[in-house]
Amino acid sequence: MTWSLLISAVLALAPSPAPAGKSGPESALTWNVKDTGYRGINPVIAADDEGFLWIFSTSHGTSRPSYIHRSKKPYNIDEFEKIPATKVENGREGVPMTHFSYMQPWFLPGRGFVAPGGEVVVWTSHDQGATWEKVRQLTEKSLFNHTYVRQPRNAHDGFYAFWADGHGREPSRSSLYFCRKTGDVFRLPRSITEEFADPEKIN
């Protein structure tokens, strides 16, 4: 099964009956998304340094829970088990985390999975993605994670990309940003009382 098919299996998650003479569901994954009452849980697949496959089933906000599952064997999708979601908070490990939205986890050896986002960097490839060259650092030393930069399509050079920031694991304030094609980044005002307002240049 390919990665894309595995993700599709999570999206359509509904265990099929066991074949005659066998116990347990036939599906590779045994969690039914219908239990959440919402099918748009945006599952994300990732692998750790030992080859175990992880499925992060996220939620939108706090109205429904989020879940984590891990394959029982490395590089194997035959069986998955539910894993309690925890986080490090104020230096304390193992703090329960029942809700997380838009999770794009990265595994770092010695640290485990880390939150999505971070800083925004422009990278360019001239060989269909085989190699990449760093062009410009757009944000740095940010208080919150920057993430979900929109792909520029027929974009104006003066309004080339658009995104927001925020805390990766808990509710927080969020600001909106845009950049020019040259890499100049601007932050929009949090409140506007006039018809027009000037954005703040941050780099």
Give the per-residue pLDDT at 74.
94
One domain, residues 104 and 180: no
- Going by C-beta distance under 8 Å and a sequence separation of 6 or more, which residues neighbour residue 33? 10, 11, 13, 14, 39, 41, 57
One domain, residues 109 and 140: no
- Contacts of the segment 30-36: beta carbons below 8 A, 24+ positions apart: 30/79, 30/80, 31/57, 31/67, 31/69, 31/80, 31/82, 33/57, 36/64, 36/65, 36/67
Contact of 168 with 145, CB cutoff 8 Å: yes
What single-letter DSSP state applies at residue 37? T
Give the per-residue pLDDT at 78.
85
Q: pTM of the predicted model, to two decimals?
A: 0.61
Distance CA 203, CA 189 (A): 16
One domain, residues 95 and 153: no
One domain, residues 99 and 14: yes
132-157 residue pLDDT tens: 999 999 999 898 889 878 878 899 99
2-42 residue pLDDT tens: 333 344 334 434 343 444 555 544 444 544 444 445 555 56
pLDDT beyond 60 at 59: yes
One domain, residues 121 and 193: yes
Domain hosting 128: range is: 117-203
One domain, residues 7 and 77: yes
Q: Please give the tally of structural domains in the chain.
A: 2
One domain, residues 96 and 17: yes
81-123 residue pLDDT tens: 999 988 888 889 888 888 777 777 888 888 888 766 689 999 9
One domain, residues 27 and 103: yes
One domain, residues 82 and 45: yes
What single-letter DSSP state applies at residue 91? T
